[in-house]
Amino acid sequence: MHDIADLEGRGIPGVGVASTEFVEAAALQSKSLGFDPAMVFVQHPIQDRSDDEMRALADQAVEPILRALTGAKG
Protein backbone atom coordinates (compact mmCIF):
# COMPACT_ATOMS: atom_id res chain seq x y z
CA MET A 1 0.00 0.00 0.00
CA HIS A 2 2.82 2.39 0.88
CA ASP A 3 4.57 1.61 -2.41
CA ILE A 4 1.44 2.38 -4.43
CA ALA A 5 0.94 5.64 -2.53
CA ASP A 6 4.56 6.56 -3.23
CA LEU A 7 4.21 5.79 -6.94
CA GLU A 8 0.94 7.70 -7.23
CA GLY A 9 2.48 10.63 -5.36
CA ARG A 10 5.16 10.77 -8.04
CA GLY A 11 2.58 10.63 -10.85
CA ILE A 12 3.19 6.95 -11.66
CA PRO A 13 0.01 4.84 -11.78
CA GLY A 14 -0.03 1.85 -9.45
CA VAL A 15 -2.36 -1.03 -8.74
CA GLY A 16 -2.27 -3.25 -5.68
CA VAL A 17 -2.66 -6.96 -6.29
CA ALA A 18 -3.49 -9.29 -3.40
CA SER A 19 -5.52 -12.38 -2.70
CA THR A 20 -9.12 -12.14 -1.57
CA GLU A 21 -8.03 -12.96 1.99
CA PHE A 22 -6.71 -9.39 2.22
CA VAL A 23 -9.74 -7.37 1.03
CA GLU A 24 -10.61 -6.15 4.53
CA ALA A 25 -6.98 -5.53 5.51
CA ALA A 26 -6.43 -3.48 2.34
CA ALA A 27 -9.53 -1.40 3.07
CA LEU A 28 -8.44 -0.75 6.65
CA GLN A 29 -4.90 0.19 5.64
CA SER A 30 -6.21 2.39 2.86
CA LYS A 31 -8.44 4.21 5.31
CA SER A 32 -5.65 4.68 7.85
CA LEU A 33 -3.36 6.09 5.15
CA GLY A 34 -6.08 8.33 3.70
CA PHE A 35 -5.37 6.84 0.30
CA ASP A 36 -7.73 4.89 -1.95
CA PRO A 37 -5.57 2.83 -4.31
CA ALA A 38 -6.72 0.81 -7.27
CA MET A 39 -6.79 -2.82 -6.15
CA VAL A 40 -7.22 -6.14 -7.92
CA PHE A 41 -7.86 -9.24 -5.83
CA VAL A 42 -7.16 -12.78 -6.99
CA GLN A 43 -8.52 -16.02 -5.59
CA HIS A 44 -7.03 -17.10 -2.25
CA PRO A 45 -4.85 -18.95 -1.42
CA ILE A 46 -1.91 -18.43 -3.73
CA GLN A 47 0.78 -20.28 -1.81
CA ASP A 48 1.24 -23.92 -2.74
CA ARG A 49 -0.26 -23.38 -6.20
CA SER A 50 1.39 -24.95 -9.19
CA ASP A 51 3.05 -22.82 -11.85
CA ASP A 52 0.10 -23.49 -14.16
CA GLU A 53 -2.37 -22.39 -11.50
CA MET A 54 -0.37 -19.21 -10.88
CA ARG A 55 -0.33 -18.47 -14.62
CA ALA A 56 -4.11 -18.93 -14.71
CA LEU A 57 -4.54 -16.45 -11.83
CA ALA A 58 -2.26 -13.98 -13.60
CA ASP A 59 -4.16 -14.42 -16.86
CA GLN A 60 -7.43 -13.66 -15.04
CA ALA A 61 -5.95 -10.59 -13.33
CA VAL A 62 -4.14 -8.92 -16.22
CA GLU A 63 -7.20 -7.26 -17.78
CA PRO A 64 -8.52 -5.83 -14.50
CA ILE A 65 -5.00 -4.57 -13.71
CA LEU A 66 -4.72 -2.88 -17.10
CA ARG A 67 -8.18 -1.33 -16.70
CA ALA A 68 -7.22 -0.01 -13.26
CA LEU A 69 -3.97 1.45 -14.59
CA THR A 70 -5.61 3.17 -17.54
CA GLY A 71 -8.93 4.10 -15.95
CA ALA A 72 -10.77 2.20 -18.70
CA LYS A 73 -14.25 0.91 -17.95
CA GLY A 74 -14.84 -2.78 -18.38
List the chain domain ranges.
2-70
pLDDT at 71: 85
Q: How far is CA 73 from CA 23, 63, 64, in A?
A: 21, 11, 9
Q: How do the pLDDT tens digits run along the chain, 74 residues long? A: 899 999 999 999 999 999 999 999 999 999 999 999 999 999 999 999 999 999 999 999 999 999 999 987 66
pTM of the model: 0.87
Distance (Å, rounded) from C-alpha 47 to C-alpha 26?
19
